[in-house]
Structure 1
Amino acid sequence: MQASKDFAYQALYGDIHNHCNISYAHGSLDDAIKNAALRLDFVSITGHASWPDMDEHDPKIQHIVQFHQRGFAKLHRNWDSYLEKISKAESEHKIVLLPGYEIHSNEHGDYTIVGLDPLTKMILEDSPQELRQRIFKEKLEENYLIFPHHIGYRQGARGVNWISFENPLTPLVEIASAHGFAEEDLSDRPFLHSMGPQQHQGSMRYGLGLGHQFGVIANTDHHSAHPGSYGHGVTGIWASSDRREDIWEALNARRTWAMTGDLMQLKFAVGNQLQGSVCQDLGEPGNIEVQATSPIDYVELLTPEQRHCWHMPLSSERKMAEEFEDTEEAIVWIELGWGERGKAANWDVSLELDEATILEVIPRFRGFEVVSPLDKRATEVPIQHASWEQLNDISVHFHCGTWGNMT
């Protein structure tokens, strides 16, 4: 995919909420970095840091309390080592690595804190308001970005609390992850975790209706060291370059869009004001450009007053065949999998084109799905199981592992 000519920005892709065993999750930090570099331009590998209002004395959830407390302590002990490792790995793997950690909260919802500085200090407080105050007090506001995570749950059950949501340091809201979609309360992927169902008050549309201004992002929340795992969530940004400072500027300027699977480019502008801008009525029409690496069903524009929807025309098989015959570019998907239920298979694949040239390789690898620290399946498969290389302009080689569908 290529952006419009004479456009000042390039599309970059990242995942800024995901986990490995730096706290309580599976897979090493090294594996997480390698997996991120398969598909992403930037990543923040997130440590579980605290839960100020966790009910530590409820005997029914002591097993949950214990693994959280152990995970928090592990992250605190190894924070400096974590910072050192990601700083060294950045140049080796050619990916921007931003430090990050997560604070759980029943009352305020879970928040992710991402740092610009490779030496980011872990600052912990009991509420988002106190956290912002502390950051401003220490004059560190240029180095921290805070956003609410899995907003769709009920307020009081770790869903977003719009009363304590504030814009300073919080330009973005996460609307999709492995937990589900929170654009609206009805979606293709409802929230189904043990924290309960989603509610309308936890949706993006409800927050916008309250007058809040924010950009949107999506992350995997993968718990087995695979940032960017295909099918969960990925964030797109329009950035001046792939430098750390320009990625940071794009996130704070809200030049973002949220995706759940295949990579897309989304540009929405009114005049010369791009998505994320706050401006008066310019008296100019809006312009929407969408490119995707899979078919587009429809394009939808939501405003507080109404919904505008444009459906993409369906093509007949004959028409698609005729168009393909004359096309100069095409996207070809290669998918591997199936096999006996629960069994692993290793794939070593070489592909070569005849009378054509590879313009771009777009990996779509998935990580192994283990969430709970109490799940013993993490020892059954390698966490880092994929690699790829474009050998020349007509051939590509990749290796990956797959597991038979559990159904």
Structure 2
Amino acid sequence: MHYKKLWTDLHSNIHHNQMGELNQWIEHAKKTVDFWPVAYYPFYMKRTETGAGLEDLYDREQIEQDWEQLRDAVKQQNEAGYPMFMGYEWQGSGEDGDHNVFFLDNDQPMLHPMRYEELYQAYKDRSAIAIPHHVAYQLGSRGKNWETHREAFSPFAEIYSSHGCSENDTGPFDMERHLHMGPRTGETCYERGIEKGYLVGMIASGDNHNVPAVHDHGTMCVLAADGSKEAIWEGLLNRRVYGVSRSRMDIDFTINGSPMGSVVKPGEGTLAFAIEAADAIDRVEILRDNVLDTMAVHAGTWEETEYTGVRNYKFAVEFGWGPNPKFYKDRLTKTWDGSLEVPGRLCSVQKCFNSFGQELCNVTEKSCEFHMTTYMSTTTGHWMGPSTVVKEGFVFEVEGKPEDEIVLKVDRYVYRFTLKELMKSSRILAQYQESMDLAAEVFGNVEHYRDDFYWHNAYKTRIRQAVPEEAYTMKYEKKVTLEAGSCYRLRVHLRNGDTAWVSPIFVRE
């Protein structure tokens, strides 16, 4: 069966004091993801009389009012054709780990029992799922309790987010952003669930509390028959899901034709995958029962080829950086206006948005225009705010010849470069004069034997190295002997450090 690949952030937490921004969140989600399961966050940090901070639920009346407001908004979007799902974060006593609860329909209550089993019993006869996240924190202190897990209720786990990676405690992306919740431990990580024999898939999503679908914090893809809520729900229940740390990747992974998340019978089989990424693929790790089975290396297969004629290329363009708020307290945001023009064909544009205020418009086969807003900080004093975000961008895919000249217009600047030049190296285009003018305006003479003050405070556009289609696409297959009780899954690593985690295919009698 052919499935559509639909993208979302399954972990966008909107708080009680942000419900006035709900429409802005929805409109941003509609620009960036194919469907949106919103996860209302009913907690706040209350202070004891002596000043200790304790995270607790808001008053029941307040969160019920928010729940009804959310219900009305989701119903309105569903009627207009956008697949939104109602959801909320459940934490209970912390003994079973944090879970986001989502519903297929829009008529369910929001419940807060203390234990995961009680949550399951409350919703077991309803179309509800509870997805664990940041599972590798300490057991009993908000880490996942695999002893109480119900695989039908929690068909997959969020193993990467702004917190870091919970797949294991030995790999990259350590969980260091929320130091007060860590460090991570292998006792509760995703791999312990696989070892227990659970049928549990894996995704990435942001754990975002200020902006939905933050590109740099991870997103997920579901394979669904179509874009309806019912088809998406069926894909979620059957674990046809995977996650990426940053840029999106088009991934198909099968054994004997059965897709990720499936259960297949023991015997001889063919494992196959096909990938289209946003940058050069470095390698793909095929894991059998959490152990590396095969390393499929793609690096070194394309770099020495001389590319001629017409083919597809991809390159990323990022906007941001700029004045340090320590010196320029009133320069926290900047708007950018620009366009990209190609002599060949503009095939696709991937949005890499981290904040509100981004627009891609007037997209044709020859050009596109954009209006961007970058922030030196989007935390806005929020106690769950993200780390500083300083860039926004796109991944452009163009069809053309190496000698084709690309024209990038950014504010009052016009940059020209051929695809051949861009395949050799990335480049930084700084608004250097503006930084000098600003320094003179605010501080007067800051001349120095080094240009640090100008360069460090300059707005910059970075154009990443272009790669041909041969670099960012990969197909592979191998024969495998399928033993009952085992499972196979993928880790995909790009040259730029982006990673994808693909849900297992399980072998059962």
TM-score range, shorter chain: 0.7 to 0.9
The alpha carbon displacement at 1:390 in A equals: 3.6
Q: Is the 1:38–1:388 Cα contact (8 Å) retained in structure 2?
A: no
Query: Match for 2:33 among 40, 55, 62?
Result: 40
Using the alignment, how far apart are the partners of 2:268 and 2:283 within structure 1?
A: 26
Aligned to 2:341: 353
CA offsets per residue over residues 221-258 of structure 1, 9 Å max, x none? Answer: 1110x221111111111111111111111011111111
The alpha carbon displacement at 1:363 in A equals: 0.4
Unaligned runs of 5+ in 1: 1-6, 368-383
TM-score, length basis structure 2: 0.67
Secondary structure at the residue paired with 2:117?
helix
Change in 2 beyond 3 A, CA 1:73/1:361: farther
The answer to whether the aligner puts 1:115 opposite 2:103 as a matched pair is yes
The alpha carbon displacement at 1:40 in A equals: 0.7
Using the alignment, how far apart are the partners of 2:51 and 2:154 within structure 1?
A: 32
Q: Is the 1:240–1:246 Cα contact (8 Å) retained in structure 2?
A: yes
Residues 6-405 of structure 1 aligned to structure 2 (within 5 Å): 8-21=2-15, 23=16, 28-49=21-42, 62-65=52-55, 68-70=56-58, 74-90=62-78, 95-104=82-91, 105-136=93-124, 139-140=125-126, 143-192=127-176, 193=178, 194-224=180-210, 226-304=211-289, 306-307=291-292, 308-314=294-300, 319=304, 322-323=306-307, 325-342=308-325, 343-367=331-355, 384-404=356-376
For residue 205 of structure 1, what is the amino acid of its counterpart? E
For residue 87 of structure 2, what is the amino acid of its counterpart? G
Using the alignment, how far apart are the partners of 1:145 and 1:91 within structure 2?
A: 23
Using the alignment, how far apart are the partners of 1:191 and 1:180 within structure 2?
A: 4
Q: Is the 2:47–2:54 Cα contact (8 Å) retained in structure 1?
A: no
Using the alignment, how far apart are the partners of 1:110 and 1:234 within structure 2?
A: 18
The alpha carbon displacement at 1:59 in A equals: 6.5
Kindly indicate which of the two structures has a greater share of residues assigned to strand: 2
CA offsets per residue over residues 270-324 of structure 1, 9 Å max, x none? Answer: 112211111221411211222211222210111127302222223786x36x33x
Deviation larger for 249-258 or 299-308: 299-308
Deviation larger for 259-268 or 327-336: 327-336
CA offsets per residue over residues 193-223 of structure 1, 9 Å max, x none? Answer: 1112000122222221121211111111111
Secondary structure at the residue paired with 2:369?
strand
Secondary structure at the residue paired with 1:360?
strand
For residue 98 of structure 1, what is the amino acid of its counterpart? F
Change in 2 beyond 3 A, CA 1:353/1:90: farther
Change in 2 beyond 3 A, CA 1:95/1:294: farther
Deviation larger for 82-91 or 257-266: 82-91
Secondary structure at the residue paired with 1:283?
strand
Q: Is the 2:48–2:54 Cα contact (8 Å) retained in structure 1?
A: no
How large is the Cα RMSD of the aligned pairs?
2.6
Q: Is the 1:112–1:146 Cα contact (8 Å) retained in structure 2?
A: yes
Change in 2 beyond 3 A, CA 1:61/1:274: farther
The alpha carbon displacement at 1:109 in A equals: 0.6
Secondary structure at the residue paired with 1:258?
strand
Secondary structure at the residue paired with 1:359?
strand
Using the alignment, how far apart are the partners of 1:25 and 1:311 within structure 2?
A: 46
For residue 195 of structure 2, what is the amino acid of its counterpart? G
Change in 2 beyond 3 A, CA 1:391/1:316: closer
Runs of 4+ in 1 over 6 A off after TM superposition: 56-61
CA offsets per residue over residues 11-47 of structure 1, 9 Å max, x none? Answer: 11111111223x3668711121122122211111211
For residue 400 of structure 1, what is the amino acid of its counterpart? M
Using the alignment, how far apart are the partners of 1:333 and 1:72 within structure 2?
A: 46
TM-score, length basis structure 1: 0.83
Secondary structure at the residue paired with 1:131?
helix
Q: Is the 1:50–1:72 Cα contact (8 Å) retained in structure 2?
A: no
Q: Is the 1:24–1:71 Cα contact (8 Å) retained in structure 2?
A: no
For residue 322 of structure 2, what is the amino acid of its counterpart? G
Using the alignment, how far apart are the partners of 1:334 and 1:303 within structure 2?
A: 37
The alpha carbon displacement at 1:71 in A equals: 7.5
Q: Is the 1:114–1:145 Cα contact (8 Å) retained in structure 2?
A: yes
Q: Is the 1:17–1:112 Cα contact (8 Å) retained in structure 2?
A: yes
Secondary structure at the residue paired with 1:205?
helix
Using the alignment, how far apart are the partners of 2:316 and 2:273 within structure 1?
A: 26
Using the alignment, how far apart are the partners of 1:238 and 1:316 within structure 2?
A: 30
Secondary structure at the residue paired with 2:89?
strand
For residue 85 of structure 2, what is the amino acid of its counterpart? L
Using the alignment, how far apart are the partners of 1:103 and 1:59 within structure 2?
A: 26
The alpha carbon displacement at 1:9 in A equals: 0.7
Using the alignment, how far apart are the partners of 1:298 and 1:59 within structure 2?
A: 55
Query: Among the aligned pairs, what percent are the same residue?
Result: 24
Change in 2 beyond 3 A, CA 1:176/1:123: same
The alpha carbon displacement at 1:186 in A equals: 2.3
Using the alignment, how far apart are the partners of 1:333 and 1:385 within structure 2?
A: 19
For residue 203 of structure 1, what is the amino acid of its counterpart? C
